[in-house]
Amino acid sequence: MALKDLTTVLYDVDDHVATVTLNRPERLNAFNETMTLEMAAVWREIREDNAVHAVVLRAAGDRAFCTGMDIQEGPWWTKKGIWNQEDPGVLLGPRKQLVWKPVIAAVHGMAAGGAMYFLNECDVIICSQDATFFDPHASGGMVSALEPVGMLARNIPLGDVLRWALLGNDERITAETALRIGIVTEVVPREQLWPRSAELAAEIASRRPEGIQGTVRAIWESLDQTPSMAQRIGLSYAQRGNRGGGPAHDGVNRQPRLR
């Protein structure tokens, strides 16, 4: 898929920062089959483009970051045989697409249910003061499994994840609570959300990309490993990623030697 043909996502690169904007505001940025395929194409482009050092993920419109799957269009994968069906959410986040470039998520308004497919795989999540996080699955009599499991992998407390998943639309996690339990790392006024996310991405993008990407990969891959294996693989990444950079690019802050 050529990125010039995108219809549900906006994509731009400037000064080593890629900005990805979910662009279905009339549907509260709910994802459909088209968006999942377009997001997969965007992540592939980001992964292969060495000029991209960091990413901002945000959403158009005033009301929502994302409200999960577009239930008006419904599931599109059921036409496949049962053993050929896969979770469509794996196309939405960067990690399943083997993107090791840091992603800053900027959340405003509603972040509901399947929005966690995006957020659970982002490196830094900030939100505006009007952000609310909730899971409508229980209110619709549906199983909520993949999104809360992803939250647990981020070390969100079990009790908070269970409240979020079991109380449905009646449990709204505010921006302040999201900060307290670790869903987000910073809360800003709405008008500062996009500038602040761009500022964070630009700061990270100014670092040596090999060092940053090796750090991201080592941390995320450690989640699937035993502690001892994570330490061993992390050491190998440090040895590979810190080699041969030269004095100006080896990741070490060198001070001039006094004579």
Q: Are strands 110-112 and 64-66 parallel, antiparallel or unpaired?
A: parallel
Query: Sign (positive/negative) of CA torsion 108, 216, 222, 41?
Result: positive
End-to-end CA distance of the chain: 59
Which of left, alpha, beta for 181 (phi over 0: left; psi -120 to 50: alpha)? alpha
Query: Tokens 């995108």 correspond to what residue?
Result: 6
**Of 51-55, 76-80, 223-227, 244-248, where does the model show the most confidence?**
51-55
Q: Let me know the angle formed at the C-alpha of 189 by 13 and 183, rounded to the nearest 5 degrees.
A: 75
**Tokens found for residue 166:** 């079991």
Average of per-residue pLDDT across 222-234: 90
Is pLDDT of 251 > 60?
Answer: no
Digit-coded pLDDT (tens) for 161-180 = 999 999 999 999 999 999 99
136 phi, psi to nearest 5 deg: -80, 0
pTM value is: 0.89
Mention every residue, 6+ apart, whose C-beta is less than 8 A from residue 161. Answer: 148, 151, 152
For residue 82, is pLDDT > 90? no
Distance of CA 163 to the CA centre of its chain: 22
Tens digit of each residue's pLDDT (9 = 90 or more) over 112-163: 999 999 999 999 999 999 999 999 999 999 999 989 999 999 999 999 999 9
